[in-house]
């Protein structure tokens, strides 16, 4: 009986293969995707994390997506507007998108410019709590020029006007479905939030929040040959090692998102031969932030603020530089990241044209140099081998979020600093607390009540303007601004502010690159941010999947309609 | 007895209210923030807006009364709605909404109950079924090889954490032998023999891991209790009267020994509902335990509050049940 | 052993009785074997680091993921830390946490259980308090306690001792409830027995009745709770470390070593075998000691 069944299955598989060449919709059966963070909601504007945005990117499309190489590709639009083709106005204050006229929603109704206008208003509603609000920053109005043309007006000149509706964070939702869900009512529309009607390759079949999503192919998808898969199961939960194992070792899944496993364990899993690791480098950098103000608890309200005064020893540039020189970044990569990390000396490592080469000296560890630097600056070893000057000991509290790779990195760096006579106490904080902005918690990364903290940050899309703007004086977190701000080192330089302001006015890509590099070099040469590792996005894909390219600039599933089954 | 039960039930209401308030205060004091898992690229101003739209940071008494009203008024009304009795305007009801899913918390919980009952409940039943005979035989033949082996296995079972046994089973049975799936499919509908077999196969590993863990605890208590009773005077009397050994052990000793064990078993039942956080996570069963841990990690306070309060109700209820069973099994105990 | 001390304090028995108890305990093969193994583990973790002098926190990247060698009898982990040194120093912490937390929870649980079972007036309030503690969500509670007290304790006792006290307190305070309920149940049954009624009727005071008659008769469930309690404390500690609430990450404990090693199970089995064995052996030996003590304390068995 069983043999017969296998035979029938094999024949079925063979015929599937024959038709796959003709690329027919839904001919490749079922696709199993594993996310170790379970999906909570399918409305990306109300999502709680990357996993929700990626899960909804199978259903909803923006006007344009980023391709894996960082270039933009029109999705619901016919072309990318630029100054050259007249889509972006000369004064950089508006952008006009031409929409495809052959697109229908999965319920069969036509897609028009009214939906785009509605989506913008939905997110701009101040009571809605839309998490893509920064994509719509400075948007003054969105107007429908005609049925298939949309014009977005900005209140200031936008050298990079591709925030709204480019990438999976800000897709177009259907007006008919969401029109009663504006503002404060947004969270109440559970049905719409759990099953949005979209223009993407798949539609929701069943959604169990915080557990599993099942999709089926969208019968009305704009490309009649896509998607190749008839159904998709996106299962959440477990941990990264478990999801990776289910692709590489047991073969139960086809794709595992965000692999965070020690390199040697990964090698062993890959030895099973069922799949491989795919990686791509975006803009993520694991970095150390150096506290320039005094985090002494005795200061009370002035703790870790400019008013509290400079840090007892990290305000000395020689110490900061020595800390950076003492780190062997190659070892950090080898132990914690393997092929998924690269040594970097820049906080802005990509895209290519923005990457500076001025700081590459940090790639080699220089313990003797670091020691000499500290000696010269007057920091001499005390009786216990820890350096001190005027009664101030080089004793560092080093915090990060809880994660086994980070704890390994912490331990390694602690030992490297030990060698140059710096004492380190390690602390790890639950990620939800560390990255959460709870005002009452002393452990958030913004409050930074420590000497050094480590985490990864990056920026959306390919434009670094907002990212480099993180380190201007006004971004310094303090009680006055409810600790909101991204300038964790509390770095403040008029020169840097000026560069940042200039970038906001410059349209030419070469000029912008020059400015961004200058800002990066300034931060690096002051050693207020110590970059460690340029981290890749890493996922695991089964050998039987075809056309899978990891996309570091957009949702990993943004082009899942192109994926196929190989065997 | 009835009087006692009723009095306890009445007393349970203020107890539960106090518990719910304490849980609320704890969660309010707890660090953590529902926007903590958002990508870092989302600026803090936007996060502040999101928090505002969720109603985070409301004064605690207001938030507490809103939640109480949701739990005791709106949710029951919604249930009545489901069975066709509508009181008031359904659209006016502010049900308890989760921060992360923006959906009603109770719908989430209902969705999780089947897999939790199947996996954790069944493992508990198996655990008891294994533990009681092992405990009885171990005690009756104290220090025999069976007792020694049973002691050894149950102590190892208890002392090795489930995150380890679970992973070990996956490595052996999913990776090497490929007998059982390592991922639990919650969408599987059992409607034929084949799907039933699939269900059994996917339940084998999580149920085994948990049953071992449960059995090792219960069998220890069972053995200890049996040992106490075997040396008591009434046993000697019964034997002296020429009663068959089987009757002595199974009727007299077992019945008396079960008294403390029943307490342990009854007290353990609420833990079925609270799920098995680690095991559920390892096998991706995604039941109530996983829901709770996701809620805690994501600072989804309405969800955590509601779940923990439901557990609290179950705990109070089963404590009462344990006491009542106690009274029935042991007539010497008088509550009044 | 804490219970023996407790018995002494409560019951003030004569010396000859304890002579009997010790003699009886020594006749119990399992108990003696358990005691020997337990003492061996204690000696090993206390004095071992003076013989095997590698620093457990020293990272030797060039020698990572080693199998057993002469220099590293238990191999090394993925950061090149020595396995034996880690197991030894982890054992100090795990044993200390396990014993201290178990003692605290046992003390609380037994005290509350006996008071609730013996004094009818206290029964309601104490059992409702127990319900309250049972019903509290442990994880958020831990987050709050640690948030509120970590900095104070850290500055008062230093990072390691401060966290140690906190963890012992947290585990103790959240694990006494089952013991209390079981002890109460036993007390309810025992206090209706003839010998207790007899003692009461000749005018024995409450304290003395508890110490002489009630406590020795509820000792066996207490012993079971004690053995499970040590294991429970060791495992809870590992869960805490995993959540980032426990000891600093570079501070090994058995539970943590087992957790960190789990993914390396097939690559480097030594990483899970040794800490796992250490936990199991400890629990097993404590269990046999518990059996021996219980038998030794039981006058019916001792008399035979």
Q: Please give the domain boundaries of chain C with CATH numbers for all domains.
A: 18-46+82-297 (1.10.3720.10)
pLDDT number for residue A1: 40
Closest Cα in chain C, distance from residue B251 (Å)? 19
Closest Cα in chain A, distance from residue C256 (Å)? 11
Asked whether C164 and C93 are in contact (CB, 8 A), the reply is yes
Flag whether pLDDT at A7 surpasses 70: no
Q: Which residues in chain C have Cβ-Cβ distances shorter than 8 Å to A268?
A: 266-267
Asked whether B139 and B223 are in contact (CB, 8 A), the reply is yes
Going by the DSSP 8-state scheme, the letter that residue A135 receives in this structure is G
Going by the DSSP 8-state scheme, the letter that residue A95 receives in this structure is E
SS3 C304: coil
Chain B contact probe: residue of C41, C109, C131 with most B CBs at under 10 A:
C131
Answer yes or no: do A436 and B44 touch at CB < 8 A. no
Closest residue in chain B to residue C128, using alpha carbons only: B15
pLDDT in tens, A37-92: 889 899 988 887 788 899 999 999 999 999 888 889 999 999 999 888 888 988 88
pLDDT number for residue B216: 84
pLDDT in tens, A400-434: 987 778 888 998 999 999 999 999 988 888 777 78
Answer yes or no: do C140 and B259 touch at CB < 8 A. no
Angstrom distance (rounded) from CA B143 to CA C292: 11
Q: Where in chain A is the domain with CATH 3.40.190.10?
A: 2-274+543-565
A281-536: which CATH number, 3.40.630.10, 3.10.105.10, 3.10.20.600, 3.30.70.20? 3.10.105.10
pLDDT number for residue C9: 46
Q: What is the residue whose two structure tokens read 């006579």?
A: A421
Query: Which residues, 6 or more positions from A519, have their beta carbon under 8 angstroms from its beta carbon?
Result: A348, A468, A471, A496, A499, A500, A503
Q: Which residues in chain C have Cβ-Cβ distances shorter than 8 Å to B293?
A: 139
Angstrom distance (rounded) from CA B306 to CA B317: 16
Closest residue in chain C to residue A442, using alpha carbons only: C147
- In this complex, is the C-beta atom of C249 within 8 Å of any C-beta atom belonging to chain A? yes
Q: What is the mean pLDDT of residues A501-514?
A: 86
Percent with pLDDT over 90 in chain B:
2
- In this complex, is the C-beta atom of C267 within 8 Å of any C-beta atom belonging to chain A? yes
A484: nearest CB among B40, B45, B50: B45
Q: Which residues in chain B have Cβ-Cβ distances shorter than 8 Å to C147?
A: 29-31
pLDDT number for residue C302: 54
Q: What is the mean pLDDT of residues A161-187?
A: 87
pLDDT number for residue A4: 40
Q: Which residues in chain A have Cβ-Cβ distances shorter than 8 Å to B116?
A: none
Take residue B247 and report the two structure tokens written for it.
């009757």
Rounded to 5 degrees, what are φ and ψ at A230? Answer: -80, -35
Answer yes or no: do A335 and C78 touch at CB < 8 A. yes
Q: Which residues in chain C have Cβ-Cβ distances shorter than 8 Å to A427?
A: 248
Answer yes or no: do A41 and B45 touch at CB < 8 A. no
pLDDT number for residue B256: 82
Which of these, A504, A474, A470, lies nearest to A486 by C-alpha position?
A: A470
- Annotate C271-289 with three-state secondary structure: HHHHHHHHHHHHHHHHHHH
Q: Which chains touch A (3 or more CB pairs under 8 A)?
A: B, C
Average pLDDT, chain A: 87
Query: Which residues, 6 or more positions from B2, have their beta carbon under 8 angstroms from its beta carbon?
Result: none
Closest residue in chain A to residue B111, using alpha carbons only: A208
pLDDT in tens, B312-331: 888 888 878 887 887 777 77
Q: Which residues in chain A have Cβ-Cβ distances shorter than 8 Å to B175?
A: 245, 249-250, 272
A2-274+543-565: which CATH number, 3.90.1150.10, 3.40.250.10, 3.20.20.100, 3.40.190.10? 3.40.190.10
Q: Which residues in chain B have Cβ-Cβ distances shorter than 8 Å to C239?
A: 161, 278
Number of cross-chain residue pairs from B and C with Cβ atoms under 8 Å apart: 150
Query: Which residues, 6 or more positions from C184, have their beta carbon under 8 angstroms from its beta carbon?
Result: C112, C113, C114, C116, C117, C123, C127
Alpha-helical runs (H) found in chain C: 2-11, 15-27, 29-51, 83-118, 120-135, 138-173, 177-190, 194-201, 206-209, 215-217, 219-242, 254-261, 270-297, 299-303
Flag whether pLDDT at B77 surpasses 70: yes
A193: nearest CB among B33, B102, B112: B102
C244: nearest CB among A297, A408, A428: A428
Q: Where in chain A is the domain with CATH 3.10.105.10?
A: 281-536
Closest residue in chain A to residue C63, using alpha carbons only: A335
pLDDT number for residue A495: 92
Answer yes or no: do B103 and A432 touch at CB < 8 A. no
> Cα A316 to chain center, whole Å?
32
Angstrom distance (rounded) from CA C114 to CA C184: 6
Q: Which residues in chain B have Cβ-Cβ distances shorter than 8 Å to C188?
A: 326, 333
The structural domains of chain B, ordered by start, are 105-329 (1.10.3720.10)
Chain A contact probe: residue of C54, C250, C251 with most A CBs at under 10 A:
C250
Residues of chain C with pLDDT under 70: 1-17, 137-140, 143, 147-148, 150-151, 155, 159, 241-245, 249-250, 298-304
Angstrom distance (rounded) from CA B209 to CA B164: 10
SS3 A181: coil
Beta strands in A16-164 (DSSP E): 30-35, 64-66, 72-74, 94-98, 139-146, 149-154
- Give the A window 240-259 contacts with C, CB below 8 Å: 241
A427: nearest CB among C248, C263, C264: C248
Q: Which residues in chain C have Cβ-Cβ distances shorter than 8 Å to A410?
A: 249-250
Chain B contact probe: residue of C137, C298, C299 with most B CBs at under 10 A:
C137
- In this complex, is the C-beta atom of B80 within 8 Å of any C-beta atom belonging to chain C? no
pLDDT number for residue A360: 87
């Amino acid at each position: 009986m069983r043999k017969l069944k296998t035979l029938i299955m094999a024949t079925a598989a063979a015929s599937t293969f024959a038709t796959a060449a003709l690329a027919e919709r839904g001919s490749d059966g079922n696709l199993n995707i594993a996310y170790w963070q379970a999906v909570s909601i399918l409305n990306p504007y109300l999502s709680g994390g990357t996993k929700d945005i990626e899960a909804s990117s199978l259903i909803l499309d923006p006007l344009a997506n980023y391709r894996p190489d960082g270039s933009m590709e029109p999705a619901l639009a016919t072309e990318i507007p630029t100054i050259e083709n007249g889509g972006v106005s000369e004064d950089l204050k508006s952008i006009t998108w031409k929409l495809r006229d052959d697109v229908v929603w999965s319920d069969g109704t036509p897609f028009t410019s009214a939906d785009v206008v509605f989506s913008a208003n939905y997110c701009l509603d101040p009571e809605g709590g839309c998490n893509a609000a920064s994509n719509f920053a400075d948007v003054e109005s969105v107007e429908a020029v005609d049925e298939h043309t949309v014009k977005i007006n900005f209140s200031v000149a936008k050298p990079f006007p591709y925030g709204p509706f480019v990438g999976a964070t800000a897709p177009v939702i259907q007006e008919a479905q969401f029109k009663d869900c504006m503002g404060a009512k947004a969270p109440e529309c559970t049905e719409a939030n759990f099953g949005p009607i979209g223009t993407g390759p798949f539609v929701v079949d069943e959604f169990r929040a915080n557990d599993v999503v099942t999709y089926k192919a969208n019968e009305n998808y704009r490309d009649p040959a896509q998607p190749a898969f008839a159904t998709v199961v996106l299962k959440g939960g477990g941990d990264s090692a478990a999801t990776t194992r289910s692709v590489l070792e047991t073969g139960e899944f086809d794709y595992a998102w965000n692999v965070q496993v020690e390199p040697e364990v990964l090698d062993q899993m890959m030895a099973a031969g069922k799949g491989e690791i795919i990686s791509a480098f975006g803009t993520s950098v694991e970095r150390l932030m150096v506290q320039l103000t005094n985090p002494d608890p005795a200061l009370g309200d002035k703790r870790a603020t400019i008013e509290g005064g400079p840090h007892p020893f990290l305000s000395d540039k020689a110490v900061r530089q020595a800390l950076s020189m003492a780190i062997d970044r190659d070892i950090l990569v080898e132990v914690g990241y393997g092929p998924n990390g690269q040594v970097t000396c820049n906080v802005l490592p990509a895209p290519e044209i923005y990457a500076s080469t001025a700081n590459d000296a940090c790639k080699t560890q220089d313990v003797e140099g670091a020691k000499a630097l500290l000696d010269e600056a007057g920091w001499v070893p005390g009786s216990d081998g820890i350096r001190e000057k005027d009664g101030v000991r080089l004793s560092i509290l080093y915090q990060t979020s809880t994660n086994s790779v980070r704890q390994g990195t912490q331990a390694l760096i602690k030992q490297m600093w030990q060698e140059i006579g710096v004492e380190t106490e390690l602390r790890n904080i639950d990620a939800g607390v560390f990255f959460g902005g709870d005002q009452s918690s002393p452990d958030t990364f913004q409050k930074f009540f420590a000497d050094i903290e480590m985490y990864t940050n990056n920026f959306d899309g390919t434009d670094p303007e907002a990212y480099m703007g993180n380190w201007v004086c006004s971004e310094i977190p303090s009680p006055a601004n409810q600790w909101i701000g991204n300038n964790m080192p509390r770095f403040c330089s008029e020169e840097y502010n000026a560069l940042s302001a200039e970038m906001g006015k410059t349209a030419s890509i070469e000029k912008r690159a020059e400015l961004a590099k200058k800002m990066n070099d300034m931060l690096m040469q002051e050693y207020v941010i110590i970059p460690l590792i340029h981290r890749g996005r890493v996922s695991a894909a089964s050998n039987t999947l075809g056309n899978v390219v990891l996309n570091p600039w957009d949702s990993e599933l943004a082009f899942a309609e192109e994926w196929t089954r190989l065997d | 007895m009835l009087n006692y039960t009723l009095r306890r039930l009445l007393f349970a209401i203020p107890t539960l209210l106090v518990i719910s308030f304490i849980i609320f205060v704890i969660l309010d004091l707890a660090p953590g923030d529902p926007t903590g898992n958002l990508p870092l690229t989302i600026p803090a101003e936007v996060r502040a807006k999101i928090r505002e739209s969720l109603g985070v940071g409301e004064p605690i008494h207001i938030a507490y009364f809103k939640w109480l009203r949701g739990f005791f008024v709106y949710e029951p009304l919604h249930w009545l709605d489901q069975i066709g009795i509508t009181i008031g305007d359904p659209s006016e009801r502010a049900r308890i909404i989760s921060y992360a899913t923006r959906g009603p918390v109770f719908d989430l919980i209902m969705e999780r109950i089947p897999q939790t009952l199947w996996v954790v409940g069944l493992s508990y039943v198996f655990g008891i079924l294994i533990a009681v005979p092992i405990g009885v035989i171990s005690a009756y033949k104290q220090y025999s090889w069976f007792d020694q082996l049973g002691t050894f296995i149950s102590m190892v079972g208890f002392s090795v954490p489930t995150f380890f046994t679970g992973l070990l089973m996956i490595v052996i049975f999913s990776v090497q032998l490929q007998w059982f799936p390592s991922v639990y499919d919650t969408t599987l509908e059992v409607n034929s023999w084949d799907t039933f077999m699939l269900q059994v196969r996917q339940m084998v590993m999580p149920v085994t891991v948990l049953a071992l863990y449960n059995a090792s605890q219960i069998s220890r208590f069972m053995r200890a209790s049996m040992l106490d009773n075997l040396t008591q005077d009434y046993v000697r009397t019964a034997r002296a009267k020429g009663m068959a050994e089987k009757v002595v052990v199974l009727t007299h000793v077992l019945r008396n020994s079960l008294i403390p064990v029943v307490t342990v078993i009854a007290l353990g039942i609420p833990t079925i509902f609270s799920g098995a956080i680690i095991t559920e996570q390892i096998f991706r069963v995604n039941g109530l335990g996983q829901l709770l841990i996701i809620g805690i990690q994501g600072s989804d306070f309405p969800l955590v509050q509601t779940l923990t309060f439901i557990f609290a109700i179950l705990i109070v209820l089963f404590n009462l049940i344990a006491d009542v069973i106690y009274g029935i099994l042991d007539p010497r105990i008088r509550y009044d | 052993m804490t219970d023996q001390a407790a018995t002494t304090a409560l019951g003030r028995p004569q010396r000859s009785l304890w002579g009997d108890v010790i003699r009886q305990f020594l006749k119990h093969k399992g108990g003696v074997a358990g005691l020997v193994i337990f003492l061996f583990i204690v000696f090993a973790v206390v004095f071992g680091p003076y013989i095997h002098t590698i620093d457990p926190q020293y990272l030797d990247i060039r020698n990572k993921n080693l199998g057993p060698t002469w220099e590293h009898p238990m191999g090394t982990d993925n950061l090149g830390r020595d396995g034996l040194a880690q197991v030894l120093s982890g054992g100090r912490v795990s044993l200390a946490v396990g014993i201290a937390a178990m003692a605290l929870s046992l003390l609380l649980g037994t005290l509350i259980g006996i008071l609730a079972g013996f004094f009818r007036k206290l029964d309601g309030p104490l059992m409702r308090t127990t319900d309250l503690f049972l019903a509290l969500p442990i994880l958020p509670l831990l987050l709050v306690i640690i948030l509120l007290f970590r900095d104070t304790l850290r500055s008062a006792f230093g990072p390691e001792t401060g966290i140690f006290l906190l963890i012992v307190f947290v585990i103790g305070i959240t694990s006494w409830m089952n013991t209390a309920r079981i002890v109460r149940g036993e007390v309810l049954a025992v206090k209706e027995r003839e010998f207790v009624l007899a003692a009461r009727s000749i005018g024995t005071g409450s304290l003395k009745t508890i110490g002489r008659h009630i406590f020795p008769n509820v000792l066996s469930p207490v012993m079971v709770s004690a053995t499970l309690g040590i294991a429970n404390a060791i495992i809870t500690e590992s869960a805490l470390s995993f959540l980032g609430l426990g000891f600093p990450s570079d501070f090994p404990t058995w539970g943590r070593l087992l957790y960190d090693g789990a993914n390396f199970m097939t690559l480097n089995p030594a990483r899970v075998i040794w800490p796992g064995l250490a936990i199991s052996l400890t629990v097993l030996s404590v269990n046999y000691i518990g059996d021996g003590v219980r038998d030794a304390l039981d006058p019916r068995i001792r008399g035979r």
